[in-house]
Each structure stands twice: as C-alpha cells, then as structure tokens.
Amino acid sequence: MIKVGIVGGTGYTGVELLRIFATHPQVQLQAVTSRKEDGMPVADMYPSLRGRVDIAFSSPDNARLTECDVVFFATPHGVAMAQAPELLAAGVKVIDLAADFRLQDIAAFEKWYKMPHSCPELLKEAAYGLPELNRENIRKARLIGNPGCYPTTMQLGYAPLLKAGVIDASHLIADCKSGVSGAGRKAEIATLFSEASDNFKAYGVSGHRHSPETLEQLGKLTDDKVGLLFTPHLVPMIRGMHSTLYARLIKDIDNAALQALFEDAYKNEPFVDVMPFGSHPETRTTRASNMLRIALHRPDNGDTVVVLVVQDNLVKGASGQAVQCMNLMFGLEETTGLMHVPVLP
C-alpha cells in the first residue's frame, strides 16, 4: 500500500484527492492537514465521504508527513517549495498541484506569481506532470509539478498538430471557459452565487499566469517559435472546462488525415477520447471523471482547424491528473482508481 499524505485537504482539489483515494485499491491515507480544522474528522466537513474516509485533519506540525511514501500539496502557490526539500530528503515523493514546480523559467515564475522561488535546485529536477506528453520522465521522478487546468486542454489539443508541423505555431488562439470551482474554495466576491450565476465574463485578457506555462511546454513540441493568444472566461457552473482552440493550416492536409493525427496520437491513452470529426463535446460528459474529450472541425474546409477540448477542471485538470502521475511513479497501472464514469445528467 502507498502511504499518502495530503497537505491542504479542505479545498476543492484536496477533497477531489480524498474522493479518488476513497476507492483507490493501493492507497492508505496517512495524513490530511489543516491548521484550522485540526482534529475534525474529514467526513464532518465533507459528508459525501462518510463511511469512506475515517481519518481526521491534523495540524501540519503533527502530521508526520516524512513517514509517507508520497505527499500531495493541494495548497496555494509557495507552500510546496517551502516543505519539499525536507520531504525529499526523507525519501518522500512530492506532487504539487500548485505552480511551484511547473515553470522551469524562474524569472517567469517570479513575475507571474509575485514571489521568489526558494529551491531552484529542486526545480531543475521536477517533472512536468502531463502523462500523455511526459510519461517516461514522470515514471522516474520524485518531484512532480502538476499542470494547470487550462494548459492541460491547450497542450493536448495542439500537440498532434504541432508535432506534425501542419499549423502556423506562431499564431495560436485559445478561447477557454472554466467553472467557478477553478477559483478555489474561498470567500471572494467574484465567485459568490449572486455574482457568478446568470453571468459570463472574460478575465486575464491582457495576460494570464497559465500562458508562460503553456508556451514553455508547447515549445518542446516544435522547432518553430510558438505564439499564443489565450483568453480565459468564467462560466456559471461549478465544474467543467471547455477550450476552443484555433490554428491556421500551412500544409495541404485533408480532414481524414487531420483526424488520423489525433487518433494515432491518443489511440493508447486511456483518458483522452478523440471523438468523430465534427463532434461537439460537452463538459457534462466528463463531469467527475478523469476523461478529456477532443473533437476537430474545419469550417468551410478552409485553412483554419478548430479543436474542441472538454474536461473536468478538478479531475483531469487537477487531482485526477495528479493521481495518474502517482500511479506511474509507483509502477501501478496508470488507470488505477481513476476509472470513474462521468456523472450525467
């Protein structure tokens, strides 16, 4: 059994980890930390876990995280890099769901996250946790930087096209929407029901912290310079993400060959579903699952290819992907504990 610790168990990604681990056959929950809720049974805060999770929250000072095999950080940016050196020195693997180990460019990290990076020597060895594009590095890693939710959709949506060299990499456009849970479990005016419900808005138009992460990773897929115009939007639903990606074709390729690029790229990927050409994937078809669905369009058979990508931002976009990485790191079947059927309606 893998002894698992979760730092920050009271947020949405934390409870998603708990939900997944409640039925994971190879996991033993060792510690779930929260200073404020120290001693409270986890199931008292999240009644959905009654009868499934019998552990109580513990203060980080008393959690004995160094006795775990792996520790997940479901915390704000900056927490994991403060604690990772001690855990790694004790032989504990670390998976961070925040941004501390996503960006190799320290200057970009410090610019976008407004804090110094405290362990750049560890950053160099961190593996980027997107299994479909970085599986072998994840298998060998002891430290994972889990991808952002938006970057997951953009990378998996653009990867086959960039690798094949059939699009203009310098002018990519990503029009993305996320449910409100992507903002985290906190009291904030913008995410109050009266503010977010019956409303739709863009944010981060002049620049978003997921842009440098996505550019850094897309740049590994092509020798061409990548340019990305990324606009995120907040939609009035709890969970779910829909990314509409645009790219200009620069090679003569028919629709069947375009579809084949994606089907070949993801034919052995258990969590990527390439739908028939011209399909319209819906966010509800991935709700509460680790599945990501992709569909291609080519309006008027012109020179623009449109890639539609949907996922659950809390699962494949966060906690499910982190568990996918853990499975690889410990030599388990990648799908272990993650074969939940999406919840519909």
DSSP state of 23: T
> Helix, strand, or coil here: 275?
coil
Number of helical H runs and strand E runs in the chain: 11, 14
Give me the residues paired with residue 242 across strands: 177, 310
Residue 288: C-alpha distances to residues 149, 180, 317 (Å): 14, 15, 11
Give, rounded to a whole angstrom, the gap between the first and last alpha carbons of the chain.
35
* Token pair listed for 129: 């946790």
Q: Is 149 a catalytic residue?
A: yes
What's the rounded Cα separation, in Å, for the pair 255 and 128? 32
Give me the residues paired with residue 33 across strands: 7, 58
Residue 50: C-alpha distances to residues 22, 42, 161, 301, 319 (Å): 10, 8, 45, 53, 20
> Helix, strand, or coil here: 36?
coil
Q: Give the active site residue among 68, 149, 176, 325.
A: 149
Q: Catalogue the active-site residues.
A: 149
